Structure 1
Amino acid sequence: MPERTTGKRSHRVIGGACAALVLLGVTAYAVTQSGEDRDRRGPPRCSVAGPDGERAFTLRPEQAASAATIGAVASARGLPERAVTIAIATAMQESSLRNIDYGDRDSLGLFQQRPSMGWGSEAEVMDPVYAAGAFYDRLVDVPGYLTLPLTVAAQEVQRSAFPDAYARHEEEAALLAGALTGRAEAALSCSWTVAEQPAGQPREVHERMMREFGEGVQPIGEGARLTVPLRGGEETRRGWELAHWAVAHSAELGIERISYGNRVWEARRSGDGWQEAAAESMAGAPELRLSVFAPAEPIP
């Protein structure tokens, strides 16, 4: 569970002017961090902002990455924000957004799905992409799920012994879903120590993004960078959807810098969250740039 501190959406591939969304600029990056910086930052955490821009709650990077995958799978299927809220609240209750390999009887994974009840094999339900897809498969078959109370919609899928428990997570799940669908800009940020961060691999970022978002995202290799074409006014929301996915997976994938529009997040200053970018980086078409802790690696 997060640590508390205080109609169907399409892929929108529409005709019109095309903006190049740059996903990955690979750089060799030497990181130094003082002990004072590490002490100030504290343990790894991600924070989600409320409508007023103030931090509403925190969660661990592992939890944020799980939620980001749940959001990406919904995006690949063209599902609306409410579906993401229901799925995240369910996973918060069932596993605290952790991909656990144990549970009641043969329950496993983010949603505690049971292979013996037809959810898939053990390996499948332990795959967060598969597990999220299996949850959505059943959710969309629930009549009127978008207008049902969250507890009712979740229970129709899960058949839990404690159906009312899902409601306690609805507020936080809704804030997280707002960020992960790109509606709430710069609303999710992560902070972690980078002094001994292993090298990231651009190819892995490319493959993970393609697998989780599906054909709705088409990274194109351009030397050391990946680009995703954005069309017809989808730039802002789609850009923040991808930017928040990247920051949620930043520790796991070794992403050291993310910039989009007039905002930038850097691992070495991650405690500062999203900051205003230099004026020169704001010129031209909207771009999302990611760089990783690794020398440039060719991407086909």
Structure 2
Amino acid sequence: MSETASPVRRGRLLRFAAAFAVLLALIGYVVVQYVTGGGAPRCTVRAASGEGGPTYELSAEQAANAATISAVGTTRGMPERAVTIALATALQESGLRNLDHGDRDSLGLFQQRPSKGWGTTRQILDPVYSAGKFYEHLAEVPGYSRLPLTVAAQKVQRSGFPQAYAKHEPDATLLAAALTGRATGALTCESGKDGGTGDPVKVRAELVRAFGPDVLPAARTSGKAGAPGAGEVSVPVQSTVGTDGGRAVQRGWELAHWAVARSEGLRIAEVSYQGRVWSAKESDRGWRSASSQTSAKADIRSKASSPDSRMDEVRIRIAR
């Protein structure tokens, strides 16, 4: 009896092991889809070198949060390295998702704890606030920009797994280069194409929340709030940074990438800057050269807004 039972038991064990392996793979897939927002509109960031360089893909939710983290940092005058540290930290702590739960009372993008003085629950769940608190603490770390990323992040976070931040540095570096505007046309997003209508007043308000009141006098809106065919928000970037032409160009791409990263939530249909355009309807093409007709119209608008100089502007058209 035992001679025949043993192979049967072995067969059952093998089938059980195979089924268990499939179950583990399925669980892993579900977890990855949950963390990365699989199935939803996606965004891709590329190296400044363009084709052939490294890329990083993330969900629309992650891109929107990353854009907020970057905007808050640059508005505070923090360098690109600080933005990289912040993005790597948020990637590790929350997967760039604004979580309403965590270890003990940890919350938000950076898993900050109300009980440890980071703020109230409501404040920490505001990405602008939580990013600002992170930079506030990072700025107090002597020589943080010269420290290894894991060391700088750990001095702010006091994590039980400080080395975990290191694996996110390459992706955070790509994101920071695009979102601070140093890499041009480097961030593109797919469109959900759900037919929703946007509101230029809301877009303008979000610009001010992310980049501060200095952007307010420069930004102009057209179209009635909430109306079909809403309109456009235009930001003459030179007036937000003074006469530094190089910084103006970088600032322009920073604003343009922010708008693309926020396009899904704010129902942004098109973003144009420096003769290049991203549109929700043709999001699979990424940033492309604007037509001569579009460029001519942009040039007319530019001259009309500043008769004495050709002032580049980021134009954000809202979904109709």
Pairing partner for 1:215 from 213, 230, 245: 213
| Correspondence for 1:243 | 256
How big is each residue's C-alpha offset from its partner over 1:155-203, in whole Å with a ceiling of 9 and x where there is no partner? 0000000000000000110110000100000000001231x23111111
The aligned residue for residue 172 of structure 2 is 173
Q: For 2:45 and 2:140, locate their aligned partners in 1 and report how far apart those are by CA, in whole Å.
A: 30
- 5+ long unaligned stretches in structure 2: 1-30, 34-38, 224-231, 300-309
Query: Structure 1 residues 222 and 202, CA, compared in 2 at 3 Å: closer, same or farther?
Result: closer
Aligned-partner Cα distance in 2 for 1:240–1:220: 15
Q: Would you say the 8 A contact 2:47–2:55 is kept in 1? A: yes
Does the 8 Å CA contact 2:43/2:58 hold for their aligned counterparts? yes
Deviation at 1:216, TM superposition (A): 3.3
How far did 1:2 drift? 9.8
When normalised by structure 2's length, the TM-score is 0.76
SS at 2:167 equivalent? helix
Cα distance, 1:222 vs. partner?
5.3
**Conserved 8 A contact 2:235-2:315:** no
| Contact 2:56/2:174 (8 A) holds in 1 | no
Structure number with bigger Rg: 2
What corresponds to 1:124 in structure 2?
A: 123
Classify the secondary structure of the residue corresponding to 1:146: helix
- The structural deviation recorded for 1:238 is 0.8
Q: 2:202 aligns with which of 191, 201, 204?
A: 204
Higher RCO (Cα < 8 Å, 6 or more apart): 1
1:256–1:266 Cα contact (<8 Å) kept: yes
Letter in 1 for 2:315: R
How far, CA to CA, are the matches of 1:180 and 1:261 in structure 2? 16
Q: Which amino acid aligns with 1:179?
A: A
* Alignment gaps of 5+ in structure 1: 4-41, 295-300
Deviation per CA, 1:117-147: give whole Å up to 9, x if none: 0100010100000000000000000000010
Equivalences, count? 255
Q: CA separation in 1, counterparts of 2:97 and 2:153? A: 18
The structural deviation recorded for 1:214 is 0.3
> 2:89 aligns to what SS in structure 1?
helix
| Counterpart code for 1:46 | C
Residue 63 to residue 202, structure 1, CA distance change in 2 (3 Å) = same
Structure in which a larger fraction of residues adopt strand? 1
Counterpart Cα distance in 2 of 1:162 and 1:192: 36
* Map 1:215-294 → 2, pairs under 5 A: 215-218=213-216, 219-221=218-220, 223-224=222-223, 225-229=232-236, 230=238, 231-232=242-243, 233=245, 234-283=247-296, 284=299, 285=310, 286-294=312-320
- The equivalent of 2:92 in structure 1 is 93
Q: In the alignment, what sits opposite 1:38?
A: none
Q: CA RMSD in A?
A: 1.8
Identity of aligned residues (%): 54
1:70-85 counterparts in 2 under 5 A? 70-85=69-84
Please report how far the alpha carbon of residue 293 of structure 1 lies from its aligned counterpart in structure 2 after TM superposition: 1.6
> What TM-score does the superposition give when structure 1 sets the normalisation length?
0.81
Deviates more, 1:213-222 or 1:261-270: 213-222
Indicate if the aligned counterparts of 1:191 and 1:271 stay in contact, CA closer than 8 A: yes
Kindly state the Cα deviation for residue 289 of structure 1 after the two structures are TM-superposed. Answer: 1.1
Partner residue in 1 for 2:42: 45
Secondary structure at the residue paired with 1:58?
Answer: strand
Using the TM superposition, give the Cα deviation of residue 207 of structure 1 relative to its aligned residue in structure 2, in angstroms.
Answer: 0.4
